Amino acid sequence: MTPEQFRRHGHEVVDWIADYWTRIGTFPVRSQVSPGDVRASLPAAAPEHGEGFDAILADLDRVVLPGVTHWQHPGFFGYFPANTSGPSVLGDLVSAGLGVQGMSWVTSPAATELEQQVMDWLADLLGLPESFRSTGTGGGVVQDSSSGANLVALLAALHRRSGGATVRQGVEPERATVYVSSETHSSMEKAVRIAGLGTDAVRIVEVDGDLGMNPGALAARLERDVARGYRPVLVCATVGTTSTTAVDPLAAIGLICQKHGAWLHVDAAYAGVSAVAPELRELQAGVEWADSYTTDAHKWLLTGFDATLFWVADRAALTGALAILPDYLRNAATDAGAVVDFRDWQIPLGRRFRALKLWFVVRWYGAEGLRAHIRSHVALAQELAGWADADERFDVVAPHPLSLVCLRPRWPEGVDADVATMTLLERLNDGGEVFLTHTTVRREPVLRVAVGSPATTREHVERVWALLTEGHDWLAADFAAQAAEQAAARAAERARAEETPAADTPA
Ligand SMILES: Cc1ncc(COP(=O)(O)O)c(C=O)c1O
């Protein structure tokens, strides 16, 4: 493709994306295809001869769109959001156009230095501790995911705990322990497995009524493990758990970690970016105790996947665990110790110029725009929670400090509540106007309404609430009628059994 052809088709692609965003509300939020449908509409083999760009674009509509669940749809309330935005897409396009591989400073100094600067800006914008700045002992780096960030945090913690011995001797699975709560994201356990510790190293600490980690229980577990000869490596505290956005109390947990020399990793994958709004920072009071911290700009900060913001307070622990310098990567800047090489801060060697899209986003919206984005969703979620609180058909089952509201529908006597709740969810999602997901709280299914798509307005939240209440009324009547029929059938059966004399009853 020549630059001129690229210019022409590039404009067509940008038009296509802009048109998609304009008409996104007309699609069913959740893809309606069945397994195998997308593959069945593709040829069995790759084309022998290159095709025209028109044919490729046409297949976006014919093949791809029907198989897409529209995460940017204003009716998308599932999981956590996966934001994107114009400046993010354009920044990514520039990154793709430059085609830079930014593994070392020398392979493109701008890739490293822009990332350092943007991460320092973001640490400021989120009110994170001084220790996380590149100007101090720590620094920030863009990772591919919070799952990846949880893994590198654990590797750094293992390195520090062993005084560097893991680099040569590996880990001590029979001694090392890692502390999570029952609400911690599964990626932490995955990290423990990948690190070679095995799931047995994981200690699951009890949670309080608000589903945040109980610090007393953590302290007791650590004491017991230390007394038995275990070596606590890392405590993972979550700000904004995946199920309900519960918050582990960082200040209390930080003190306990310090006492035992355990690394405090804060997983704020979804909720961390909310700290652009100063009034929401209270949720992470005590974050200054953290040795590392992760939050995803690709969830709720208008930046497309992947853009995990990861900071460490002591970068030496991280690079100590991950740096290897083979001859073929040597260069004068690295040898002089004058630069940061981000390949030593992550699992893969190669890395994209991801800071560009963050830079575009932060500059386009400014701190003010980012705050407005977060605040609008938090306000909408609080309104929704207020409507549900005031309505006898629903219970709000967990604290909702941010933009996720967890609802348990109430059902009439005799109705199987779990089945009815999941039926309501399916009914809503089949309808195509909105998309929600569920979780389990205290062993019961609940509906999660995660406000966070950039296009979502009050009107869409009103609509999801209307659909929830209408769906509830319809199903409650239907299930109650079924329950009544079944009860009547059982009563009739009993009556018949009482009327018919049993065979062995003497006449
Ligand atoms: C608390 C928490 N940690 C980690 C993750 C994993 O995030 P990622 O998809 O960036 O790996 C999630 C995903 O929702 C999460 O909620």
* Ligand 1 near 191 CB (within 6 A): no
φ, ψ for residue 242, nearest 5 deg: -65, -40
Q: pLDDT tens across 192-203, in order?
A: 999 999 999 999
Q: How far is the CA of 466 from the centre of ligand 1 (A)?
A: 30
* Bridge partners, 184 (sequence order): none
* Ligand 1 near 181 CB (within 6 A): no
Are the beta carbons of 281 and 127 closer than 8 angstroms? yes
Q: How confident is the model at residue 504 (pLDDT cuts 50, 70, 90)?
A: low
Angle, helix 458-499 to helix 355-389, in steps of 10 degrees: 50
Which of 71, 142, 147 has most ligand 1 atoms within 8 Å of its beta carbon, as the pocket-test mutant? 147
Q: How far is the CA of 78 from the centre of ligand 1 (A)?
A: 14
Rounded to an integer, the average pLDDT of 39-48 is 97
Q: How far is the CA of 469 from the centre of ligand 1 (A)?
A: 30
- What is the three-class DSSP state of 238? strand
Are the beta carbons of 286 and 251 closer than 8 angstroms? yes
- What lies within 8 Å, CB to CB, of 285 at 6+ separation is 250, 251
* Ligand 1 near 242 CB (within 6 A): yes
Which atom of ligand 1 is closest in space to residue 296's alpha carbon? 10
Q: How confident is the model at residue 481 (pLDDT cuts 50, 70, 90)?
A: confident
3-state SS record for 412-428: CCCCCHHHHHHHHHHHH
* Ligand 1 near 145 CB (within 6 A): yes
Rounded Cα distance, 281 and 127, in Å? 8
Which atom of ligand 1 is closest in space to residue 306's alpha carbon? 10
Q: How far is the CA of 305 from the centre of ligand 1 (A)?
A: 12
pTM, to two decimals: 0.94
Q: How far is the CA of 191 from the centre of ligand 1 (A)?
A: 12
Q: How far is the CA of 373 from the centre of ligand 1 (A)?
A: 20
pLDDT value of residue 482: 85
Query: Could you give the maximum distance between any two Cα atoms of the chain, in Å?
Result: 108
* Bridge partners, 139 (sequence order): 312
Angle, helix 215-227 to helix 250-260, in steps of 10 degrees: 10
Q: pLDDT tens across 317-371, in order?
A: 999 999 999 999 999 999 999 999 999 999 999 999 999 999 999 999 999 999 9
pLDDT value of residue 503: 55
Rounded Cα distance, 79 and 495, in Å? 49
Domains along the chain with CATH numbers: 3-76 (1.20.1340.10), 100-353 (3.40.640.10), 369-493 (3.90.1150.10)
Q: CA separation (Å) from 111 to 102, 143, 326, 354?
A: 6, 14, 21, 8
Peptide bond before residue 37 is cis, with ω within 30 degrees of 0 = no
Question: Could you give the count of Cα atoms lying within 13 Å of 182 in the half-sphere of its Cβ?
Answer: 12
* Ligand 1 near 238 CB (within 6 A): yes
pLDDT value of residue 501: 65
> Buried (b) or exposed (e) across 272-284, using 16+ Cβ within 10 A?
bbbbbbeebeebb
Rounded Cα distance, 246 and 235, in Å? 16
pLDDT value of residue 83: 94
* Ligand 1 near 144 CB (within 6 A): no
Rounded to an integer, the average pLDDT of 110-130 is 98
The length of the chain, given as a count of residues:
507
- CA 146 from chain centre, in angstroms, equals 7
Q: pLDDT tens across 395-421, in order?
A: 999 999 999 999 999 999 888 999 999
Residue 497 has pLDDT above 50, yes or no: yes
Q: CA separation (Å) from 50 to 3, 16, 46?
A: 17, 21, 10
Q: How confident is the model at residue 507 (pLDDT cuts 50, 70, 90)?
A: very low
Give the DSSP H/E element, type plus range, for residue 292.
strand 292-296
Which of 266, 270, 305, 346 has most ligand 1 atoms within 8 Å of its beta carbon, as the pocket-test mutant? 270
Residue nearest to atom 9 of ligand 1 (CA): 145
Which atom of ligand 1 is closest in space to residue 79's alpha carbon? 14
DSSP 168: H
* Ligand 1 near 185 CB (within 6 A): yes
Rounded Cα distance, 473 and 461, in Å? 18
Which of 13-22, 235-244, 291-300, 408-417 has the lowest average pLDDT? Answer: 408-417
Q: How far is the CA of 391 from the centre of ligand 1 (A)?
A: 32
